[in-house]
Amino acid sequence: MPLVEHLTELRQRLLRGIVAFLVCAGITSFYASDLLDLLLIPAGTVVFLSPGDAFGAWCSLVFLGGSALCFPYLLFEMWSFVSSGLSPREKRAVGVYGLFCLLSFLLALVFVLGFLLPFAYRFLLSFSTERLVPMITVNGYLSFVWSIFWGSLIAFELPPVLLLLVQSGVVSVSVLIRVRPFILVGIVVLAAFLTPPDIVSQLLLALPLWGIFEGTILWARIGRKKKPPS
């Protein structure tokens, strides 16, 4: 199609994505309190210090819950937009990596709620004393949750992205091996930036991220050996 028609189609799909987000956010608004109860399982009870804090927390839950709910539809719109310019083989490859990304998103959600969030929260509160009593605000707690979740999401999305780059020839396995020390430093910096300012949370994200990176290199090596010659 001409460029104008591509831009027109892109605008229509963006508008449909915005409408889908608004619908999903509206649905999430009815269950925001249940979502907050789920996230508060490790903490129990939190407080808010100003009249607008509770409403701000509600808006944050609605926005992120609506984004997560409409994510599969947004993925479908992206796929529909790019699939018309792909060959059948490329469609199969992109479809597989798209499903891989969706699975990684679900695994990150399970990892955060089932392990990382409860463990990190209990560890940090273990430093309280009789004179140092925790009083966790809802905004502070949700900020803690979002930082852990987004950091874990980036970690779990690393394998499909690296595999796609390797399979498409943009990056080779030998290059990944050569830059391994720089990747390690980048992982440490990224974990420090995306997690709360404590060494345990940073290690709980950095170590799995490093393991995922090494596993991705191994996977890419196996896939390269099995790839038939052209």
SS3 sequence of 103-114: HHHHHHHHHHHH
Distance CA 44, CA 41 (A): 5
The type of residue at 56 is G
pLDDT score for 23: 92
Q: Is the pLDDT of residue 2 over 70?
A: no
| DSSP structure class, residue 132 | S
Alpha helix ranges (H) inside the chain: 3-30, 32-39, 53-83, 88-111, 117-125, 138-167, 173-178, 180-194, 199-226
pLDDT score recorded for residue 22:
92
Rounded to whole angstroms, the maximal C-alpha distance in the chain is: 70
In this predicted structure, what is the pLDDT of residue 196? 61
Beta carbons within 10 angstroms of residue 195's beta carbon: 24
The answer, yes or no, to whether residue 21 has pLDDT greater than 80, is yes
Structure tokens belonging to residue 187? 């992982």
As given in the structure block, the two tokens for residue 203 are 């290690």
Q: Does residue 230 register a pLDDT over 50? A: no
* Poorest-pLDDT segment among 13-17, 36-40, 80-84, 197-201: 197-201
Q: How confident is the model at residue 194 (pLDDT cuts 50, 70, 90)?
A: low
Compute the mean pLDDT over every residue in the chain, rounded to the nearest whole number. Answer: 78
Dihedral of alpha carbons 82, 85, 90, 91, sign: positive
Question: Which CA distances in Å does 158 have to 114, 123, 166, 210, 212?
Answer: 20, 27, 12, 10, 8
pLDDT, average across residues 4-33: 86
Cα 32 to Cα 5, 24, 56, 63, distances in angstroms: 39, 12, 12, 10
Mean pLDDT of 80-97: 71
Q: Where are the domains of the chain?
A: 1-85, 87-230
Give tens-digit pLDDT for 94-147.
777 777 777 877 888 888 888 878 888 887 788 888 888 888 888 888 888 887
